[in-house]
Structure 1
Amino acid sequence: MLTGSGILGAFLFLSLFSPESSLFYFPRNITFNLVVRRMKMWLLGLVFCLVLGTLHSEAPRGKLAAVDPETNMNVSEIISYWGFPSEEHLVETEDGYILCLNRIPHGRKNHSDKGPRPAVFLQHGLLADSSNWVTNLPSNSLGFILADAGFDVWMGNSRGNTWSRKHKTFSVSQDEFWAFSYDEMANYDLPASINFILNKTGQEQVYYVGHSQGTTIGFIAFSQIPKLARKIKMFFALAPVVSLEFSIGPLTKIGQIPDHLAKDLFGVKQFLPQSKFLKWISTHVCTHVILKELCGNAFFVLCGFNEKNLNMSRVPVYTTHCPAGTSVQNMLHWSQSVKSHKFQAFDWGSSAKNYFHYNQVKSSKS
């Protein structure tokens, strides 16, 4: 647990994000070298915050916890590990992406119940995957709770994350594979997944539970595709996101970077994918009693401080599955939302490209 000094360190770090003194305040005459220097300063501040919090921790020093077996499991294996039935299904979207759906068809004790179970579709948020619904203990994981409550649970994976990195034509090494944002997730991924679930279960409607970006694509899809909206029995929006106008988190500040500089920094393909290096950090660093808190603090800096609702014993499991990656273009779309304060389609950067995609020179409102 962090003491007051640790929290003070975090507060001092976050105070760096005041408007014009912010490390991510970019005047129009910004240079690339200045951006790089500010990024280095940001990382230094991040390390300072995390280390200070760790140094003032009340936890015992020097102990290495056993590696949780779930750190080396995929989503289906985690589900089976806790005694639940598990299925994987591949769904092809209209534009050729191949998505993985995870399914828990019933709970541990109600498998003999007669009659169809109501289907519920859980859709993760930004930089996440279907593991988000099952990486806590069964009593705290929504996927497991719903399965034991009698639901037929389906969990989606957006294009580009760890489990949805295939395409009928493109490979992940090609720029074309990564030319998508949450527009395409709403217009292609969601309809393909929902229609597959209904066809597989024989039901006419499904409950939809979205978290963060999962709510965003729901708002877009259900408002623009009435036929799809009629297939939703009820929409549960957890941490719903439409506007970032009043968001004050560090990621929002990063979103102020001009698009061309963001591409110089991050490229044009994938953003924060799960990797062997991250898994090594999770299993060799985050399992250490003290350093585990440092890993937990990383979640706090990015997502907000809430110690009571973070199970520190599960941090290695969280970090071996998230971040799960997305496209740089998706991050640029969120960045455009930060700058414009509008909920609208991705701006392709030129009138010609926008006209090609939308038949108009400006991106349309979502």
Structure 2
Amino acid sequence: MKDLKQRGSLAFERVTKRYGKSVAVDDISFSIEPKTLVTLLGPSGCGKTTTLRMIAGLERVDEGRIRIGGRDVTELSAAERDVSMVFQSYALFPHMSVAENVAYGLTVARQPKMQARERALDALTLVGLADLSERSPSELSGGQQQRVAVARALVLEPEVLLLDEPLSNLDARMRTRVRDEIRDLQLKLGLTAVYVTHDQEEALAISDQIVVMNRKKIAQQGSPREIFEAPADEFVADFIGNANLVDGEIRSTDGKIANCLISGAAVDLPYSGKRTGAVRIALRPEAIGLQVADRDTSLIGEVSRATYLGREMQYTIQSELGELFVVCHRLDQIFPRGAQVGLQLKAHGAAIVGARA
């Protein structure tokens, strides 16, 4: 019998997956609490989709254990696991109506036809498509087709909902809308969901927890704010938010705050370590302020590129720190290419990410 308190929980215990001599996922461990949405985030080839497919039972585990709801499912087939998957390609049957697509899993499970249809219509109501139940998938927009795919997964009432880059085929505006709809549904229904994406903004917007993967391993797991504001290393800092990685020096620390020197400019940064000396520091594009350079400016740069994007300016700055990417939301003062600017380093948006080699 399942432990209802653990229903929807998920745990990987030192899981490894190989394809021949090639390692696809390397000794990873993490856990997911029930009723939370966790994103597996990382660049192409990092192992995130393979990890999702192992949860679904579509890939076998070579080493380690997977537990869903406290139950060891490592050796169980996909059909024996209480999970549903939303695929990147939607995978809708073109010869079936929307309602028939949603009811398909119930029909395969030999549910009575009328009962399967009623449950399918309930699921379509959840995603706001009940009035389109008799249309074919080809008559729907991309966003509507994605919602049908979500309804088809939800109708099975899974213990864990899996989503494999579900928005990648949508345009930017529709991505935001469907993303928010998926998050609202997950919260409303109290689902446990695992969501794969390579889009950092998407992960920050939708997640309770983010598992950042790199080179087949887990680089960091934490809340969106923890990942963004306290990256574990240079890879996480750069992948989440296009950080500028610069050299700095810790002059002193009280265990919580480190007084740092960055090319002559002093800044206090959060710090949990105890060492002092040479370090690498991540500066978010928003953590660098620009002003007109004058004789009192300690850190000066030159604008090599200025891009107007309506709500913000994006600058590329050449400086003694190296090339810096800067985002400025002040539009009342725009610096043209070739302008000399003073650089102000802000504590918010800066983080120490490791020792300097």
Return the TM-score normalized by structure 2. 0.23
- The structure whose Rg is larger is 2
Whose strand fraction is larger, Structure 1's or Structure 2's? 2
Whose helix fraction is larger, Structure 1's or Structure 2's? 1
Return the TM-score normalized by structure 1. 0.23
